[in-house]
Amino acid sequence: MAQICVALNTDSWKKAIALIEKLQGEADLFKVGLPLYLNGGRKHVDQLLKDGVRIFLDLKLHDIPSVVEETVKGLPPVEYLTVHAVGGKRMVEAAVRTRPDIRIVAVTLLTSLSDEEAREIFKKRPRNLVIQLSRMVADTRAWGVVVSGLEARAVRKYFKMLNLVVPGVRLRRKRDDHARVVFPDRLKWLKGDDIVVVGREVTEARNPVEVLKKIRAALTK
């Protein structure tokens, strides 16, 4: 079964730490995004790492290779870090080369983009674009790629060397900024190193532990 990562969708460390304390027994790791990291994130992430909390740092870096190289040099020794695959092969390689202690994960296509938006921007169907970007990432020695559950099987079929991070996982369909989502029972085939990312459905629930348990059960039954 895949690992479960809870996205801390807040810019408040007080709220984030409360969620970590509540969910740490059920979640495998926690995702820190840009709003949270920019709010004194280095200090808090360093402390969480000392406390044994596994951190997925979701900064989605996208710049020229030298700037990405300088940026990742100063980051804490988290377990995972995201960069944008559309930054190109040299950019992804710069991150991989500079921080071999961090598993670099390349974001292919944001799950907020619908099929129509992806075709308008990239002139390709999401599946074709994700496969194209994954092929490039596979040559960089990055740890894996971020893909929606709709394209995950195709990436695994063609690029078995890549680990998969799948966001936009829902127990039920809900209108928010994820356009390409899947239910967890469609991801039972994921490997133990792969990661399923869950967010507001858990963190905004009245009983987040119970919702997280339901997601875990759906990934295994």
| pLDDT reported for residue 181 | 85
Q: What is the token pair recorded at 120?
A: 């308008």
How far is it, in rounded angstroms, from Cα 170 to Cα 174? 8
At residue 3, does pLDDT exceed 70?
yes
pLDDT more than 90, % of the chain: 89
At residue 215, does pLDDT exceed 60?
yes
The position carrying tokens 């790791």 is 29
> Who's near 91: CB < 8 A, 6+ residues apart?
62, 63, 64, 65, 68, 83
Q: Where are the alpha helices (DSSP H) in 2-125?
A: 13-23, 34-38, 41-50, 65-73, 89-98, 115-122
Q: In whole numbers, what is the pLDDT of the chain averaged over residues? A: 95
Q: Of the listed 60, 89, 124, 214, which one is catalytic?
A: 60
pTM of the model: 0.95
User: Is 123 a catalytic site residue?
Assistant: no
Q: Is 88 left (phi over 0), alpha (psi -120 to 50) or beta?
A: left
| pLDDT reported for residue 174 | 65
* CB-based contact 3:31 (threshold 8 Å): no
Domain count, the chain: 1
In terms of residue numbers, what domain contains 122?
Answer: 3-220
The pLDDT tens digits for 165-180 are 999 898 876 656 677 8
CATH number at residue 49: 3.20.20.70
